[in-house]
Amino acid sequence: MDEISLFDSVILGIVQGLTEFFPVSSDGHLAVAENVLGYHKASILFDVLLHLGTLGSLLFVFHKETRELLVETVRRLPWWFSAAGRKNLFTEKGETRWILSIWLTTFVTGIFGIILERIVENNSADIRLAGLGFLITSGALFLGSLKSHGQKTAREMGLDFALLIGAAQSLALFTGISRSGLTIAAALTLGLKRQEAGRYSFIASIPIITLAVLYEMRKVEWSTDTNFGVLAVGVLTSFIVGLFAIKGLMAMLTKLSLIPFALYTLLLGIACFMVGGDAW
């Protein structure tokens, strides 16, 4: 791998910050950059650090919800493990239902991630599969846009909702399939309010992104030659751009439609098949 320059660091930070939260697939854009532009600069270490940057964006924007999730989980654990708690665990509503939903979504995504890891790794750079992923994302966004008139909150949904969102989130392991795109579209289809769908999608991503970063850290090879100053610029860039991306998408969900993203991923998916057609 070539040494990452300051320019590379800023560019990759911008791409990570935008595509991690906008429903267009960050992994899919990386595959396009590698195949079409020949732009392959990121090391495993830098990739992990960039994800830490965007994780920081999530924690900054949703710090109240994150604190509530952790504090209430710890507070309620003794009751959940009691006889009465186990008996009523899946019938509780309101705050308890929301907390359980987040952890259940995380659990389902994690299980699928373990099962699908080898398949995903072996095909992550195939531009044709990225194209297919973009088309799946586009279809989900079009469907979500058509079903975006729900009025429910996550606290009103059954735990089957959490299972379905977890399954949708796990599909984002495949290149070109957007995690935020599929989870927001699924939440809208299941009847959540537009902004509530975005909020649940982002908050539910915090535990799984944290676990994914910790899991990927085992692959990192540390070197005394690493220019951590340049890497830090990329991390800071991904954090700042991520803040704007989260705020921007939440605003769009309130006032606008997901159709522009659906059209963009549709065109990108078609372009991937055209570029990769010779390899069939």
- pLDDT, the chain, mean: 84
The tens digit of pLDDT for each residue in 83-99 reads: 766 666 666 666 778 88
Least confident of 38-47, 140-149, 263-272: 38-47
Least confident of 7-16, 56-65, 181-190, 234-243: 7-16
DSSP 22: S
Q: What angle do CA 121, 104, 64 make, to 5 degrees?
A: 100
Assess contact for 258 and 145: CB atoms under 8 A.
yes
Q: What is the pTM of this model?
A: 0.87
Angle of helix 44-61 relative to helix 194-216, nearest 10 degrees, comes to 140
Secondary structure (DSSP) of 165-215? HHHHHHGGGSTT--HHHHHHHHHHHTTB-HHHHHHHHHHHHHHHHHHHHHH
What are the CA-CA distances from residue 106 to residues 71, 101, 260 (Å)? 17, 9, 29
What are the CA-CA distances from residue 56 to residues 47, 61, 210, 238, 280 (Å)? 14, 9, 10, 9, 40
